[in-house]
Structure 1
Amino acid sequence: MLLKDMSVSAIVAGFVAVLVGFASSVAIVFQAAAAAGASSEIIASWLLALGIGMAATCIGLSWYYKAPIITAWSTPGAALLAGSLQGLSIAEATGVFIFTAALGLIIGLSGMFERLTRLIPPSLASAMLAGILLQFGFAIFQSMQSEMLLVTIMCISYVIAKATVPRYAILLVLVSGLVIVIAGGQLDLSHLELSITRPVWVSPEFSLSAMLGVGLPLLLVTMASQNIPGVAVIRASGYQTPVSPIIVSTSLSTLLLAPWGAFSINLAAITAAICTGTEAHPDTKKRYIAGIAAGVSYLIAGLAGATVVALFAAFPQTMIAALAGLALISTIASNLQTTTADPDYREAAVITLLVTASGISFFDIAAAFWGLIAGLITVLVQKIGQRFIST
C-alpha cells in the first residue's frame, strides 16, 4: 500500500515543508536556547529531540489516519521563550516544558480543544488561514527586489509546470532555483561539517513563577497560533481526522522528550499547507505520503543537527521565501474561495482575514488568534442584531 501510494511530488512536498520550516525559524530556536544559557551541545540536543518528536508524530499520525498530518515546533512559542527565559536556568526551562506539555495532554484527553474547533465556522477558519498565508504570497514578489533573476526564473518555472506537469511544479521550481543559485555562486557550503547529534539529558527543576509566567503563555500561544491554524489547514483540505488524539500525541511526545530539549511539538500550519495541497498529489488519499516524507526529513535533520542547519542556512533566504510562497499559491486560492462562499459569514470572514493579515500582536499572541476572535465577535453581534430585528 505504501509503495503503491508513493510519489515523487508527495516526497518533494514533505522535504520542502521541512526545508521551509527549518530555514525560516531555526534561528529563533537557537535564541530561545541561548536565553536559558544552553551550551552548544544542549542546543544540538534540542534539535535532536524536536526532530525525533516531529518525525514520530508526522510518520505515525499520517500513516494511521492516511492524511498528511504535519507537526512542527512552535515558532511563536520559541520567540516567546527567547524573550522570557532570561534569568531562568536550563533546568527550570525544562520544568516549564514538562508543565506545558502536561497541560496540553490534559486538554487533549478531555476533548476540550476539539469541542472548541467545532464552534468555528469554516468560512472563518479559512479566512484565518488565508490571512496567515497571504504574507508568504507577498514574499514571492518582495523577494524580486533583491533577487530579480532568481525569483523570476522560479515564477516562470512554476507557471509553465502548473500548465504542463502540475504534480511536479514545486520540484521543478526547486530545481530551477538551485540551478540559478549554484550558477551564481550563492550556495555557501564552506561551514558545512558532517556530524551526528548526541542527546543531552537535563534534569528538570520546577519553579512556580516560571511555570505560571512562562509555561501558561507558552501553552496559550501554541494552542492559538499553531494548533488552531493547523486544524484549519487539515479541515480546509477536506480531512476530517479527529483533533483530540492528535493533540494528545503531540503533547505526549513533548512530555517524553522535554528533558532532552523538546519545548513544544504541535500541529504545523504554514508547512502543513504545502503537504495538503494539490501539488503534493491530485488524489487526497495519497497525500499522506507527504506527511511520512516530512517525518523522515525531520529525523534526518534531527540526527544531523548542526550539519543540516548549516546546509539549510546555505540557501539564500530569497530562494526559501519564493519557494514557500509558490508552494502555497493553490492553498491561498482555495481558502480565499471558501472565505467568501457563505454570504451569512462573508463580512465576519473578511474581518478575520484582514485582522490576521495585518500581523497585529497583543500579549505575545499572534494575529491569527485575534483575527479569529474578531470574526467570532462579528458573527455574534450580527446574530443578536438579526434576532432583535425579527422581534
Structure 2
Amino acid sequence: MSEHQGTPVVAGIVTAVVGSSSSFVVVLGGLVAVGASPAQAASGLLAVYVTQALGMLWLALRHRTPLTLAWSTPGAALLLSTGVVAGGWPAAVGAFVVTGVLVVLTGLVTRLGDLIARIPTSLAQAMLAGVLVPICLEPVTGLTDSPAYVAPVVATWLVMHLVSRRWAVPVTLAVALVVVVVAAGSSVDTGDLLPSLTWTTPHWTVAAVVSIAVPLYVVTMASQNVPGVAVMASYGYSVPWRETMAVTGIGTVVGAPFGGHAINLAAITAALTAGPNAGPDRDRRWIASVSAAGTYLVLALVSSALAALVAASPGDVVQAAAGLALLGTLGASLAGALRDEDGREAAVICFLVAASGITVLGVGAAFWALVAGLVTRPLVSRSRP
C-alpha cells in the first residue's frame, strides 16, 4: 500500500479519536442533566456513536466525498444548562425526536431553511456562548474546591498546548480518566461494561419541546450544519444538502428512544477528513470518512466503560476537563456573537439571558435568550432610523 493510500485511513482514525475524546464527557453530562440514568446516558452515547458512523458510511460511499458527521456537542452543552424539564427523561427523548423531524423538514421544506437562515448568526452564537459559560467555569471552581484532582488536569491542558494543540483536549481527558481510576478505585462499577441500548418510550410536553427541541435544533443548525457546509466548500467539496439533512435527521429520530440527542454535519473535524491531512489526492479523501466511521464503531464498544468512569468521577475532575474541552468553542462563539457591531447589544442581551440559567413558565434560559435577542435587536440596532 502506498503512502498516499494510507494517509486517508490514518486521517480518519485521528478524526474519530479527536472528535470523540474532545466531547464524549459533555454528551454524557448533558444526558444526565436532563434526567437520564447512568445506564440511559451510556445508551445515548452508544446510539450517537452508531448513528453518526452509519450515516457517514452511507454518505461517503454513495457520494465518494469526505463528508463527516458528528454528535451535536453544542447541543449536549445546551442540555447541561437546561436541566430536567416537565415530563423528565421521557419528555427529553420526545424533544430529541422533534429535533430530528425538524432537521429532516429543513432539507425538504425550503421555507423552513430560510426561516432558520433569518436568525442572525450573532444571536445563535451568543446563546451558545451563554450556555457554555457555566460549563467553562468548572475548571476555575474545581481548582478551588478539589485542587488535588483538578490541578493535574489543568496542568496537562496547559503543557499540551505547548506540544500539540490538536491533542491537548484528548490527552487532558485521558489524564482526567486516569485520575478517576486512581481516586475512585473499586467504586467504579465494572458489573456490565459491555455496550447495551436502553429503550425509552418518547413522551411529548410543551415545556420539553420549547426548552430542548427548539434550542437544540437552532444551535445544531447554526453551529454545526451551516458551518459544516462552509468548511466543506472551502476545500472544494459540495454537500448534498437535502440528503445530508435527511440522513442526520432520521439518524437523530432513530437514536432518540435509545438516548441519542442529535447528530449533524461536522464542522471542526470536517477539516481533518476534507483537508490536506487526508492526503494530496482529493478524489481519495472520502476514504478518511469511511475510516472515521469504522473507528467510531470501534469506540462504541467502549461506550459503557467510558460512562462508568465518568459516573465514578470524584471532585468534579471530569466536569473540569469538559470545561477545558469547550473553551475553544466558547471563544469562537463569543467572537461570532460580537463580530456584528450593529447587533452587538442584542447579542450581549441574548448571552446574558442564556448564561443566567433562568426558568420561566417551565421553559429554560436558552429559549428565552433567543426571544430576548430577537425582540431587542430591532430596538437597539445602530442602523435603526
Do the two structures share a fold, i.e. TM-score over 0.5?
A: yes
Residue aligning to 1:369: 367
Range 131-140 or range 363-372, more displaced: 363-372
What percentage of aligned pairs have identical amino acids?
25
Residue aligning to 2:262: 266
Separation in 2, partners of 1:137, 1:383: 30
Asked whether the equivalents of residues 12 and 289 of structure 2 are also in contact (C-alpha less than 8 Å), the reply is no
Instruction: Give the gaps of 5 or more residues in structure 2.
Output: 1-6, 234-238, 279-285
Asked whether the equivalents of residues 51 and 251 of structure 2 are also in contact (C-alpha less than 8 Å), the reply is yes
Residue aligning to 2:307: 309
Separation in 1, partners of 2:334, 2:178: 33
Separation in 1, partners of 2:31, 2:154: 24
Residue aligning to 1:83: 88
Q: Among 11, 15, 19, which residue is 1:5 paired with? A: 11
Asked whether the equivalents of residues 33 and 83 of structure 2 are also in contact (C-alpha less than 8 Å), the reply is no
Q: Among 268, 280, 298, which residue is 1:276 paired with? A: 268
Residue aligning to 2:118: 119
Residue aligning to 1:155: 154
Report the CA distance shift for 1:157/1:97 in structure 2 as closer, same or farther (over 3 A). closer
Q: Does 1:164 align with 2:154?
A: no
Range 247-256 or range 328-337, more displaced: 247-256
Asked whether the equivalents of residues 211 and 366 of structure 2 are also in contact (C-alpha less than 8 Å), the reply is no
Q: Does 1:232 align with 2:238?
A: no
Residue aligning to 1:357: 355
Computed over aligned residues only, the root mean square deviation of the Cα atoms, in angstroms, reads 4.7
For the residue of structure 1 that corresponds to 2:190, the secondary structure is coil
Separation in 1, partners of 2:220, 2:94: 26
Residues 285-325 of structure 1: CA deviation (Å, up to 9, x unaligned): 76999998986676457666755532432333612111111
Task: For 1:1-391, list aligned pairs within 5 A.
Answer: 2-3=8-9, 5-6=11-12, 8=14, 11-26=17-32, 28=34, 30-31=36-37, 49=47, 51-57=49-55, 66=66, 69-71=69-71, 76=79, 79-80=84-85, 82-83=87-88, 105-106=104-105, 108-182=107-181, 184-188=182-186, 190-194=188-192, 196=194, 214=204, 218-234=208-224, 235=226, 239=231, 245-256=243-254, 261-262=257-258, 265-267=261-263, 276=268, 299=297, 307-316=305-314, 318-382=316-380, 386-387=384-385
Output the TM-score relative to the length of structure 2: 0.70
For the residue of structure 2 that corresponds to 1:70, the secondary structure is strand
Residues 126-172 of structure 1: CA deviation (Å, up to 9, x unaligned): 22221122122111111123320232222222222213322221233
Residues 311-360 of structure 1: CA deviation (Å, up to 9, x unaligned): 43233361211111111222222322232222111111111111111112
Asked whether the equivalents of residues 10 and 288 of structure 2 are also in contact (C-alpha less than 8 Å), the reply is no
Output the TM-score relative to the length of structure 1: 0.70
Cα offset, 1:374, TM superposition = 1.4
Range 341-350 or range 358-367, more displaced: 358-367
